[in-house]
Every structure is written in structure tokens, then in C-alpha cells.
Structure 1
């Protein structure tokens, strides 16, 4: 495959979070063969918190640091009009963001532009350069979006070339519930590089867990389940890594259950792999996961994971009984039982850890990057056919096929050509919808 110019649009590369890590990982892997740029729509500090591959170019669009010239721009004081109003981050976006993104994309000469969250995908659909392939990534589940946001997204996602989810289960939900003619809907999991730590030897009497301390992660359920573990194995410890709004309620639960000294809230750790490598089991009690980065990170450290079989990621990551355990969502007793099984059976625990280490190789950078490259090649080769599906209603397509089957010839169909030029009756992407429509 020839070298491409690839641009990622990211909310804020200077922050922390799973989408930032996965984007940096993918950008680094693609930079082996391609010219890669990350455009950060926000900048709130001087340097990114995560390491950035020196081959990857960083372009910040709006500097939100106090006193910066951008914060003094009148447009910075006005709410965004293009970024969808139902998107969770809408309050962080301004008219200045609308203007900067539009200006950048209009002059962008990339071959591929990738959006990394719903609102940014709307920017991409509205302003993306016509010659480029436009790929929207969804790092959250379809069902995690409000009905209002899904309606807003459906109007714009039809102008993308592809929509990429992190799980096949979520891709299937999009295919069923958000029909997008001409848009390739598929799943590609996040890549998780091999950590720079030795794998766990499975002997430490530690169960680890990590994530944001928010209700949906159900650390309260995990703490309650660990009370059963501590009763039978008081020498084992549960270490929870992360920060968030549930810290104080969790601290109270630890006290009320008499688990002080058995359960420890460790705070935020980044990277998390050195902590996982010091554990023998990793646990996740989430009600929902769009992917499950911490599950793969634990497996990469040779640690088996006990996870709830929640929608959508865990079942595509863990093979129950082989490299980890899956238990019903919200079932405290089942979670405690699975933890006890691994705690009380050291040979099985270590065998599962070895299997987890092997299974996690499918998230290596090389095969995941190759899947993206294959997608780019496929999108380029199918561009005209997909454009036809996009602009011609299904009923008309069926009538055309019947006409051709009878030998009636073919009809010309407007399409975005492989070189990126529009047909004579196509308007530029950004001209299809007024920029000032706040409901977008």
C-alpha cells in the first residue's frame, strides 16, 4: 500500500483517557508507513500527558489555557453551532471551534481523515475534504447515546465513508438501528501494545481493578463481592485504581463492610500495567463496556480477568474458562464465586494467565494497523459504488437493476469519484446544511 496522509481529529490529546491512548497507539503504528497528524481540538496544557511518537505531528486548534489569545476571541464566548447540541461535550465547544475545524478541514490535503467521537464525526461529515476518505470512530456504544443524539448523528453519519466501532456486537446494532446507505459499518478493536513489564507470576495475593470511579463501573458490587472473599481468605487484598465521583461512597462501603485493610483505593495510575503485573487476578464488575481496555491491559500482563458479561466488549475479549471468567451482570454471588475459584486454584489461575497472555497478542499493533490499512484500500476501491448507494434510493436501485437485467442499459449516477471530485450536481459537503443550525 502506498504511503497515505492520515489525520486524526481528537478532542484533547493533552488530557488522559482511553480514546487518547488508543488514538496515540494507532497513530504510532500507522506512522511506520504513513504520514500521520493528530489534530487536537483543545489544548489545556503545554505538553501531552501520554508519550507521543515523534513521527506523529501534533496540531492544536484552540488553546483554552487561561489568558491565551484564543480565549479572548469573541467567538470563544459563544456556544458551538455545528457541534451537536445533544453531545455530552457540547458545553466545552464554542463557535471558535466550529470555525477552526472548518478552516482546517477545508485546506486539509489528507487522504484519510478519522474522527474519534460523535461530535467530531459530525464536524468531519460537514467539513471533511471531498477528496479524502472520511472515517468516523465510535468509542462509545450506540445505546450509550441519547435518542436525541442518535437522531442528530443519523443525519450526518450518512456522509461518512465508514463508521468503525470497537466491537462487532456494536457494529451490528448500528447496522440494524441506524441504516447508512453507502457507509461501511464494521468493527476494529483497539490496539493494546505489549507493556514494558514482566508478566505476573500469579503468586501475589492481590486482586486488582481499574477504571473511573463512576456508578456504571459498579465498584460497589465488586467491593461487596470481595467481602465474601476476605471472609475466607483474609490474606488477599483488593486494590482499586482510579478516581471519580464514587470515591467517597466506596470508602464508606469499605468501612461499613469491615474491609479496611482488605480493600484499598489506590488512586489514579498511568500506565496501569505495572500495577496489574503485581496482581494475580483482575476484576471488572461493569454494567456496560464499549470495549474494555483494562481487560486487555490485564491480559497483556499475563493476568486472568473475572468480568461481568456486560454489553458489549467482554465477551469478545475473554474466552470464559480459558483465559478468564465471565459472570452475569449485577450478580454479586457469581462474581465472588468466580474470584474464589481462581484464588483457591493456583494451577488453574496460572494456566489462565498464560492463556490470557497468548490471547492478548491479537491486539498487537501490527495486525490492528493492517486492518485499518485494508479498510482504507477497500473504501477507495468501492467509493463509486458506495456513492451510488448513498444518492440513489433503494427502490430506484432495484428498478435500475431490473432495467439492466432486461438489457435496458445503464443510467448515469452522480458520485464522488475516486479522485475526490464531485459530480456536477453535488454541492460541497459544508454547504449542504446551514452552519448556524443549532440542532445539529
Structure 2
């Protein structure tokens, strides 16, 4: 088949960039994959895209149009695009010139299938679906709660916007069973859940000999590293052997440094800069701490499992769906540092070697070839090929 992926970019770090690159590379073994990227910005090639394997085109908005787009998004967070005004959002976000380009691009290339691999791409193809006779699939990379759960979320009050456009698509991929149900029941979107894939090669496995917790990700509020530091401060009062390592950069990193210094834990908590060599960090640790306040999937969970790490996880829906009752994780009440400290004590008293073996075995359900096979079957079903 001739398939077009529409997404922001594959040439920078990020969860969507990683999974779109992974799936595109796997499916290019069987199909002709085109990439339509909406940003020309490149930050290297972190996911090793061989540009000779793909036809890559770009459609980047002008600075003026980006300002308009951001303004429309802000207006949407105030609840303006509801009721009969819900359809106005697509008309203001995707102006006729932009839609004419996309229609011509799809028709001239004679694609068998078009895939919006992020929300913006999904909304864009949804806005022209009724005028283009090509099967189309969208993809939502975050959870229902992540999008709509609170005023500080990026898509606050966008429910009717999503509900007026995305149901036009043949199918929309979401990242969990819980979201498959929520988006379907609440917004009438034809959903299919497919978990994210990891592409680590099982070359570096923890030896469980360092007595170290590790947390990894962007230093932002929703990742919850502030809770991890507070919990470790409580844990460290009774435990003098274990240490904590936090890997990542972001706006809250100075706050973490202040907390660590105020607790006099600089000798036991290490802050490291972002690294794309996640296997090195995971294999050097003994337990992974997944502290997100909310999350669509959290690929780092699966990457940690693939390095043999048992997990301490906040009890949000996706962690319970992935990890519960598998003997590989200890849960704590979300945003509760006292309960996280308890979980730290509990997990280090368990048989970490046995948990590690189970983690490794389970992680193989998320390898790139297995996840790509699910996308491949979905694409064939929708395209009728």
C-alpha cells in the first residue's frame, strides 16, 4: 500500500516522534511510506530515520498563521467552540488554502491510506475527510484525562471540537483500553487501542546491584518528580543505603535542586541532564519510579521493563492497565509522597530478581515488530487491502 503519515516532525525528541518513526520504519519493509511533516525544524536525527527510505514533504505554516492557530486554541480553552460553533474551530484552524494543499497532495499522490499520527494531523485530515475519497485514520497520543481533565491541560474545553471532527475518520488509534472506551462513549469516535512500542534491543539489563531508584523524563509538573524528591526525603530517614537518580531537563529542574538542597540530600539524589541513552541509565539502576500525575501511555515504563527494572508507579489508569497483577510493580496513591515512600520501602523488601525476570518477559509484548504488526493489520482492514 501507499500510505501517508502526517505529523509534526520525526527529527526531534518526543514520544510521538519516537513512535511515528518506529512504526514508519517497520511498515516501510512492506509498504511505500510517505511522511508529510508540518515543521521543517530539525534537532538531529534521534530516531535514525533514513531519508532514502521515505518520501518526505513539508507543509509549514507561516508565522502569522501560527499566531492565529495559537489564538484559536486559546479561545477554545474558554469554551467558545461548543454547540453549533464546534465546526468553526476546524474552519479557523485549517483555512481553505491549507485544505486545498492537503486535498491536492493526497489526490495527486494517490494514497491508499492517510494517517494523522498526532492530534493536529488527525484534526486536519478530519476537516477534509468528507471531500476526499480516501480512507483515513487518526491517532490520539494522550489520555482523555490528559486532554480534558483540568484547566491547565492543553485541550481544556476542546471536547466538542474533537467530537465534531474526529468521528469523520474511519478509525482513531488511542493508547489504552480505558481511552478506547472514553473517547468512544463520550465523543462518538470510532477508536481502536494499540499500545506504544519500545525499540530497545535488550543489550543492557540491570544487575540489581546498585541500590538505586531512577526516574526519567521531562522536569515538568505532570511528571511528578517533585513528589519523588519529597518521598525520598521521607524514605531516607529510615534507609541509609539506597540512592535516587533523576534524569531529564525542563522548567522545574531548579525547583528540584532547591528541594534536594533544603533536605540536605545532595549526596544521595543525583540530577542528570537529558540523555537519549536510556538503556545506560536504566541498566545502572534497580527500580524505576514512574511518578506522572497523568499520562497517555508513558513509554518509559515499557523501556524500563525491557531493561529488567521493577517499577513503582502512581496509580493512574494507564499504569494500572499495564502493570497491575503482574508481579512487576508496586503502586502508590497518585500525588501522595508519604505513600510513595511506603512503596519504596515495600518494593526493596521484595524479590527484585524475580520481579526483574517477569518484567523482561512482559516487555516483549511491546517490541516494535509486534506493535507495528497491529498497526499493519488495522491499516489493511481500513484500506480494504
Question: How does the TM-score come out when normalised to structure 1?
Answer: 0.75
Note the alpha carbon deviations across 1:215-234, whole angstroms, 9 max, x for none.
11111111111113323333
Question: How does the TM-score come out when normalised to structure 2?
Answer: 0.85
Higher helix residue share: 2
Query: Which secondary structure state, in structure 2, belongs to the residue aligned with residue 86 of structure 1?
Result: helix
Note the alpha carbon deviations across 1:384-428, whole angstroms, 9 max, x for none.
xxxxxxxxxxxxxxxxxxxxxxxxxxxxxxxxxx9xxxxxxxxxx
Tell me what 1:149 maps to: 158
Q: Equivalent of 2:6, from 1, 6, 9?
A: 9
Tell me what 1:402 maps to: none
Note the alpha carbon deviations across 1:297-343, whole angstroms, 9 max, x for none.
000001111101113x2112213461122222122222112222232
Tell me what 1:114 maps to: 115
Query: Which secondary structure state, in structure 2, belongs to the residue aligned with residue 148 of structure 1?
Result: coil
- Seen in structure 2, the aligned counterparts of structure 1 residues 58 and 20 have a Cα distance that, compared at 3 Å, is farther
Tell me what 1:315 maps to: 320
- Seen in structure 2, the aligned counterparts of structure 1 residues 323 and 84 have a Cα distance that, compared at 3 Å, is farther
Query: Which secondary structure state, in structure 1, belongs to the residue aligned with residue 214 of structure 2?
Result: strand
Residues in 2 aligned to 1:113 and 1:121: alpha-carbon distance in whole angstroms: 10
Tell me what 1:255 maps to: 261
Tell me what 1:222 maps to: 228
Quote the offset at 1:140 in angstroms.
1.1
Matched, 1:343 2:348: yes
* Contact in 2 for aligned 1:61/1:101 (Cα 8 Å): no
Tell me what 1:274 maps to: 280
- Superposed, 1:155-166 pairs within 5 Å as 155-166=164-175
Query: Which secondary structure state, in structure 2, belongs to the residue aligned with residue 51 of structure 1?
Result: coil
Tell me what 1:212 maps to: 218
Query: Which secondary structure state, in structure 1, belongs to the residue aligned with residue 304 of structure 2?
Result: helix
Residues in 2 aligned to 1:268 and 1:235: alpha-carbon distance in whole angstroms: 25
Residues in 2 aligned to 1:99 and 1:53: alpha-carbon distance in whole angstroms: 29
* Contact in 2 for aligned 1:79/1:94 (Cα 8 Å): no
Note the alpha carbon deviations across 1:62-114, whole angstroms, 9 max, x for none.
468xxxxxxxxxx54344778993289x9xx9978666545433433221211
Runs (5+) with no aligned partner, structure 2: 77-88, 148-154
- Superposed, 1:23-422 pairs within 5 Å as 23-45=20-42, 47-53=44-50, 56-62=53-59, 76-79=63-66, 85-86=72-73, 100-127=101-128, 130-145=132-147, 146-180=155-189, 184-195=190-201, 197-311=203-317, 313-320=318-325, 322-345=327-350, 348-381=351-384
Query: Which secondary structure state, in structure 1, belongs to the residue aligned with residue 168 of structure 2?
Result: coil
* Contact in 2 for aligned 1:305/1:323 (Cα 8 Å): yes
Residues in 1 aligned to 2:110 and 2:135: alpha-carbon distance in whole angstroms: 11
Tell me what 2:84 maps to: none
* Contact in 1 for aligned 2:12/2:43 (Cα 8 Å): no
Residues in 1 aligned to 2:335 and 2:156: alpha-carbon distance in whole angstroms: 25
Aligned residue pairs, count: 361
Question: How large is the RMSD of aligned CA atoms in angstroms?
Answer: 2.8
Quote the offset at 1:130 in angstroms.
3.1
- Seen in structure 2, the aligned counterparts of structure 1 residues 79 and 341 have a Cα distance that, compared at 3 Å, is closer
